[in-house]
Amino acid sequence: MNFLTSTITDAVNTATGMPGMDGVLDALPYMGYGMVGIFLVTGVIILTVSLLNKLTNKKDK
Amino acid sequence: MQLIEALFKPIIEQMEADPTLILKQLAMWVIGGILIYLAIKKDMEPTLLLPMGFGAILVNLPGIANVGGEVQAQNGAFHTLERLFDIGIDNGELMPLILFIGIGAMIDFGPLLRNPKYMIFGAAAQFGIFFTLCLSAYFFDLNDAASIAIIGAADGPTAIFVAQTLNSKYIAAIMVAAYSYMALVPLIQPAVIKACTTKKERLIRMEDNGKPVSKTTRILFPIIVTILVGFVAPDAVSLIGFLMFGNLIRECGVLDSLSETAQKVLANLITIFLGITIAFQMRASEFLQWETLLIMGLGLFAFVFDTFGGVMIAKFMNLFLKKKINPMIGAAGISAFPMAGRVVNKMGLAEDDQNFLLMHAIGVNVSGQVASVIAGGLILSFMAG
């Protein structure tokens, strides 16, 4: 049954030119890298802004 | 008879070359009409949907559109739009970049600078983009999938920039989806927020920490963010750079006149041309494909999961925090500014008329603006690599 389903899916993908599951598997690492990357960059921004706030507020006082 | 032939020459020539094209063009007039209707009657992103709607009619007039992939007639309007597209979008993505100066000048990062931790929600609310990238990759090649996924950023200029840089052939559909969903924020987000929060969570009140932000911080913020993003995602540096340049003009305090011009005249001018220029891509032969419907569906998926990501990170943080956060503010981490922030505030007031979440939601909302540009930059870096 699984074989039949995968054969039909493959046939549809080939006929329509869609990348299918291969495309999903290719894109999967980017999801991980993307979320890690965005949290890293925003983490650095948070730290920098917190530091700036501390330094400049002290100076203002 | 000769007079009729002369009058309808363009239509007759087109019918001879491609008899079915006229029907597709009529369908595009209907789509253009719907966009104009939504802009005027429903007040949905009128600044962009109206020019796009009119442009969709303009580029689908018989005899001036593509027949078999080639322009048939030397029509002035068609070629003017083509030239505008070449100059403003195709060559260096000038229009979205210049528009970003205006957007940067409009944004007050104060609420974010008072609570920098709000950047976490902005980051989490980009989850839909990366999740949709995987799903879209089932149907499209990676470059198109990435361009479609960025619809979830709810950020028109970033969507254009990424789609154009990645040379996506679906830029018109991506634009229509991006701006339609931005306009539908008040309809889409409340449903998603309610689905993933309890009434008790929506009733959580949040205090304003009220810490002042120094002028030095306000001035240094755009410069530092540009440098940081430049290191991590060099492909996004023009986007973030123009956004932050606009913000620096606003915050420096010595360029008030330029800041006002960037916020109003410059942004309006570019917006007028952007909508009608994008419509150049709304030619029947290219727009009326089943992929357009699929892109609209995937865009909605990205948008829903962005909202979901923002809300869920707030719920996760609440597991560890003593002072609980109202998880609804996480939903404001998308880029649709200031609509997403206002929606969250309205929902808070609907649950408890003394629960004012506006400052928190706007802080998260502006962080979403920065995070969506970073997400766009990361996607460009991945695809370039």
**What pLDDT is attached to residue B235?**
80
Decide if A37 is inside a domain: yes
**What pLDDT is attached to residue B21?**
82
Q: Which residues contact B154 (CB under 8 A, 6 or more apart)?
A: B178, B181, B182, B185, B303, B306, B334, B335, B336, B340, B368, B372
**What pLDDT is attached to residue B47?**
84
> How confident is the model over B260-271, as a mean pLDDT?
93
Higher pLDDT residue, A28 or A11? A28
Tens of pLDDT along B209-248?
Answer: 667 889 999 999 999 999 998 888 888 788 899 999 999 9
CA distance, residue A1 to nearest chain B CA (Å)? 22
> How confident is the model over B116-144, as a mean pLDDT?
94
Decide if A39 is inside a domain: yes
Residue B67 has pLDDT above 50, yes or no: no
Decide if A18 is inside a domain: no
Length of chain A: 61
Q: Is the dihedral of CA B44, B48, B51, B54 positive or negative?
A: negative
Pick from B72-86, B170-184, B228-242, B321-335: least confident: B72-86
CB contact under 8 A, B374 and A38: yes
CB contact under 8 A, B133 and A35: no
- Find which of B120, B132, B134 to mutate to test the A interface (most A CBs within 10 Å of its CB): B134
| ipTM exceeds 0.90 | no
> Which of A18, A28, A33 lies nearest to residue B134, judging by beta carbons?
A28
Residue B125 has pLDDT above 60, yes or no: yes
**Tally of domains in chain A:** 1
CB contact under 8 A, B379 and A34: yes
Residue B42 has pLDDT above 90, yes or no: no
> How confident is the model over B130-145, as a mean pLDDT?
94
Q: Which amino acid belongs to residue B255?
A: L
Distance CA B322, CA B286 (A): 54
Q: Which domain holds residue A29?
A: 23-61
Q: How far is CA B363 from CA B107, B111, B115, B342, B366, in A?
A: 10, 4, 7, 11, 6
Pick from B33-42, B72-81, B229-238, B303-312: least confident: B72-81
* pTM attached to this predicted model: 0.83
